[in-house]
Chains A and B, each alone.
Chain A
Amino acid sequence: MLVSIEDITCGYGSRPVLKNLSMTIAPGEFVAVVGPNGSGKSTLVKAVSGTLKPSAGRILLEGKDLNQLRRRDVAQVMAVLSQETAVDFDFTVEEVVMMGRIPYQRRFSAATPEDRRVVEQAMAMTGTDGLRSRLITALSGGERQRVLLARALAQEPRLLILDEPTSHLDIAHQIDLLDLIRRLNGEGLTVMAVLHDLNLAAQYAHRMVMIKDGRICVEGTPAEVVTEAVVGAVYGSRVRVVPHPEEQSPHVILLSGNAARRLPED
């Protein structure tokens, strides 16, 4: 297993958000984590990426306890692409992508030819090489996410964690980014993506994990997880699930009115 999450309880202060949660990520997988607001998706990403320590249980990265590893070693295995974040300082695109090499660089050493080669490759893969001398502060949201993805790829990770990477993008940029990530997944990169959008998750992931109230409630292929019964019960909303016209995935049609509110009236 690339990642084994073993019975973790995790939260902020004394309030646990994740309760006794266990899951694994196998090499090569594209796992999507979905669930309603406040279900603990972001907390799970924080725990897996090592920024939030579980109060109980442990997380193994390639068999080693994540919280015992040096950040530098973790960053050589795992890269994280977060929700779009504002950058206030005017670094150039190339400088930002080069930051992905920090886990490989020694103090005071300049970029090695190897660093330059990896950065070039990451920019080429994400189509950001044309932006290299632009300032990160001057880019559009879609361009900026591609640059941050290039930075993540420059870390040469085996696992890419995505925390709602498309939430501020328009539909064309959402599809562009996820197509790109699917291609990288096809080349062997393991992906764990927290996604808000059930349809995008079902369309791109091999496996879906649905969380509610800090626990996994359903886990399986998109066809197993995205059903009218599950979505209705977990989100409390009225939906119709239809086959995607082009892909082998279920597609959720939203109906107005919440199931929870409708029930007492019936």
Chain B
Amino acid sequence: MAEHLRKRHLELAPGAQAGGLQLSRSTRGRRAGIIALLALVLAVVIAAGIGSVQIPADEVMRIILSRVPGITVDRTWPQAHETILLSVRLPRVLMGALVGMALAVAGCAYQGLFKNPLADPYILGVSAGSGLGAALVIAGLGSLPVTFLGAVPAGAFAGGILTMLVVYSLAAHGSRVSTVSLLLSGVAVGSICSSLISLVVYFTDSASRDAIVFWMMGGLSGANWPKVAWLLPYLGVGAGILLFYGKELNALLMGEEQAQHLGVEVERVKKIVLLGGTLLTAGAVAFSGTIGFVGMLVPHLVRILIGPDHRYLLPVSGLVGGVVLVTADALARSLLAAVEIPVGLVMAVVGGPFFLWLLRRRMIPQDR
């Protein structure tokens, strides 16, 4: 296994042995960050052009630039294109990018915290809790919009945060919390929430039932500028917190005791990572439902490419998460001409087999 990992690493980093892998790795981390950022910009521009009305990428660029103060661009495009782009496409694409980033960063941090490369942001039951919150609001209020954001995201966000508090207090022993207890209570509370959702679905009317099922599939169809504006602070604060703790997460990968010996306040770091991860996950789920696989696959894949150093892994995973979800949503909107598929379904259909392929890739050389 170890030998296999090393070989694969060398394949990915030709010439790395000679030059000193540490240096080349950090250079590679930075380079990967720049490439991922460019890819994200490219994905946003292309995805924003895709839809029933096709807008060429250069036109998208020019329309966006025309909105930047201090830049003047010749208006050669139809007004309809500008309206579609600015009021429909862009908020949706940007929301996809934000949700993808949030899930990938949270998943990456949890994979470090739990020392498990297959952990995902939903592992502690936050998605099920958010789902329950959303289901209760939908069943209780019917289709009445309460605030301009909608009551459903508020209910989902509250459900996610509450679930995390319950999971944490069940797992905590005084000021200490073991990651194994967290995982166990997360699974237990998550499955209780899931069964409560089924109960709500069973007893509610069929319109609410449809709405709940649709919400659970995970999609970006309700995107608008206010939602983007609301998601931004959660993403900013959550990701901001986590990006500060790369070094500590690296040390935690060596084991909690060793991390402590290296000067890391392990219990405090755990709480901070949980806080950041919960803000990101609950924020993302509140507006887009539960979109699977982004939070697990993206950090896992990026780790294979650039190594396990969280100082690079966290930001690069975030950017790649944005690229993946923007791309998946563009597919969701354009695969079938007349209907839009929820992006959560696209991710599940594409992500599942991809995940299996990754697993096989890891397993085969080990079996030999």
Residues on A close to B: CB < 8 A? 46, 49-51, 70-76, 78-80, 82, 85, 87-92, 94-96, 98-100, 102-103, 105, 107-108, 132-135, 137-138, 151, 155
A127 to B307, CA, bound (A): 24
Nearest opposing residue in chain B for A73, CB measure:
B263
Q: Which of B180-210 contact A (CB under 8 A)?
A: none
Give B252-287 interface residues, CB cut-off 8 Å to A.
253-255, 257-258, 260-266
Query: What size tier do the contact residues of chain B reach?
Result: 20 to 34
In the complex, A201→B260 CA distance in Å? 27
Q: Which residues from chain B contact A134 at a C-beta distance below 8 Å?
A: 6
Residue among A50, A80, A135, A155 with the highest chain B CB neighbour number at 10 A: A135
Query: Given A94-B21, A137-B6, A138-B5, is A85 in contact with B247 using a C-beta cutoff of 8 Å?
Result: no
Cα(A82)–Cα(B261), bound, Å: 10
Q: Mark B60-101, 1 if CB is under 8 A from A, else 0.
A: 000000000000000000000000000000000000000000
Kindly list chain B residues whose C-beta atoms are within 8 Å of the C-beta of A103.
262-263
Partner of A138, one of B3, B250, B251, B308: B3
How distant is A56 from chain B, measured CB to nearest CB, in Å? 17
B209 to chain A, nearest CB (A): 44
- In contact, B262 and A133 (Cβ under 8 angstroms): no
Q: B250 is contacted by which of A76, A80, A91 (Cβ under 8 Å)?
A: A91
A80–B248 Cα distance when bound, in Å, is: 17
- A99 near B251 with CB under 8 A, answer yes
Known contacts A105-B247, A138-B3; is A82 also within 8 Å of B258 by CB?
yes
In the complex, are the beta carbons of B2 and A137 less than 8 A apart? yes
Asked if B54 is at the interface (CB within 8 A of a chain A CB), the reply is: no
Top 8 nearest A-B pairs by Cβ distance? A75-B263, A103-B263, A133-B21, A138-B6, A94-B22, A72-B263, A80-B261, A89-B308
How does the 8 Å CB contact mask read for B314-335 relative to A, with 1 for contact and 0 for none? 0000000000000000000000
Identify 27 residue pairs between A and B in the complex whose beta-carbon atoms are under 8 Å apart, listed by A's number.
Answer: A51-B260, A70-B265, A71-B264, A71-B265, A72-B263, A75-B263, A85-B254, A87-B253, A89-B117, A89-B308, A91-B253, A92-B22, A94-B21, A94-B22, A95-B307, A99-B250, A99-B262, A102-B262, A107-B247, A132-B22, A133-B16, A133-B21, A134-B6, A135-B6, A137-B1, A137-B2, A151-B262
- Residue in A51, A79, A94, A135 whose CB lies within 8 Å of B9: A135
Task: Give A100 to B262 CA distance when docked, in angstroms.
Answer: 6
The chain B residue with its CB closest to the CB of A45 is B257
Considering only CB atoms, which chain B residue lies closest to A108 in the complex?
A: B244
| Nearest neighbor of A85 in chain B, beta-carbon distance | B255
Which residue in A75, A90, A91 is a CB contact (below 8 Å) of B261? A75
B21–A85 touching, CB < 8 Å: no
B264 touches A92 (CB 8 A): no
- Complex: A73 Cα to B30 Cα, angstroms: 31
Instruction: Confirm or deny: B17 has a beta carbon within 8 angstroms of a beta carbon on chain A.
Output: yes
Q: How far is the CB of A237 from chain B (nearest CB, A)?
A: 31
Complex interface: chain B residues within 8 A of A88 (CB): 115, 253
- State the CA gap A132–B20 with chains docked (Å): 7
- B25 beta carbon closer than 8 Å to chain A: yes
Distance to closest chain A CB from B12 (angstroms)? 11
Interchain nearest-CB distance for A80 vs B (Å): 4
